[in-house]
Structure 1
Amino acid sequence: MATLEVEGIQKSFGGVQAVRGVSFAVEPGEMLALIGPNGAGKSTCFNMLNGQLRPDAGRVRLQGRDITGLKPREVWRLGVGRTFQITATFGSMTVRENVQMALLSHHRRLGQLWRPVARMDAAEADALLARLGMAGQAGRPCGILAYGDLKRVELAIALANQPALLLMDEPTAGMAPQERVSLMALTAGIARERGIAVLFTEHDMDVVFSHADRILVLDRGALIAEGAPQAVRNDPRVREVYLGSGATSGH
Structure 2
Amino acid sequence: MATLEVEGLTKSFGGVRAVQGVTFAVEPGEMLALIGPNGAGKSTCFNMLNGQLRPDAGRVRLMGRDITGIAPRQVWRLGVGRTFQITATFGSMTVLENVQMALLSHHRRLGQLWRPVARMDAAPARALLDRLGMADQAARPCGILAYGDLKRVELAIALANEPKLLLMDEPTAGMAPQERVSLMALTADIARESGIAVLFTEHDMDVVFSHADRILVLDRGRLIAEGEPAVVRADPKVREVYLGSGAVTGAH
TM class by shorter-chain length?
Answer: over 0.9
1:115 matched to 2:123: no
Structure 1, unmatched stretches of 5+, are none
State the 1:118 CA deviation.
Answer: 1.4
Distance between the aligned counterparts of 1:250 and 1:138, measured in 2? 33
2:182 match: 182
State the 1:120 CA deviation.
Answer: 2.2
Partner AA of 1:152 in structure 2:
R
Q: Which runs of 4+ in 1 moved over 2 A?
A: 247-251
Q: Secondary structure at the match of 2:114?
A: coil
Give the RMSD, CA atoms, in angstroms.
0.8
Distance between the aligned counterparts of 2:250 and 2:153, measured in 1? 31
Distance between the aligned counterparts of 2:18 and 2:160, measured in 1? 32
State the 1:246 CA deviation.
Answer: 1.6
Post-superposition Cα deviations, 1:183-212, rounded to whole Å, max 9, x if no partner, equal 000000000000000000000000000000
Post-superposition Cα deviations, 1:112-147, rounded to whole Å, max 9, x if no partner, equal 111111122410000000000000000000000000
| Number of residues of Structure 1 aligned to a counterpart in Structure 2 | 251
Distance between the aligned counterparts of 1:81 and 1:64, measured in 2? 17
| Cα pair distance change 1:72/1:121, threshold 3 Å | farther
Q: Secondary structure at the match of 1:240?
A: helix
Structure 2, unmatched stretches of 5+, are none
Distance between the aligned counterparts of 2:121 and 2:107, measured in 1? 10
CA contact (8 A) 2:205 2:250 kept: no
Distance between the aligned counterparts of 1:167 and 1:13, measured in 2? 23
2:235 match: 235
2:167 match: 167
| Cα pair distance change 1:248/1:123, threshold 3 Å | closer
| Cα pair distance change 1:219/1:76, threshold 3 Å | same
After superposition, residues 78-227 of structure 1 pair within 5 angstroms as 78-227=78-227
CA contact (8 A) 2:206 2:249 kept: no
State the 1:71 CA deviation.
Answer: 0.3
Distance between the aligned counterparts of 1:249 and 1:137, measured in 2? 33
Distance between the aligned counterparts of 2:119 and 2:190, measured in 1? 26
1:61 match: 61
1:19 matched to 2:37: no
Partner AA of 1:183 in structure 2:
L
Distance between the aligned counterparts of 2:250 and 2:147, measured in 1? 28
Percent of residue pairs bearing the same amino acid type: 89
Distance between the aligned counterparts of 1:231 and 1:247, measured in 2? 14
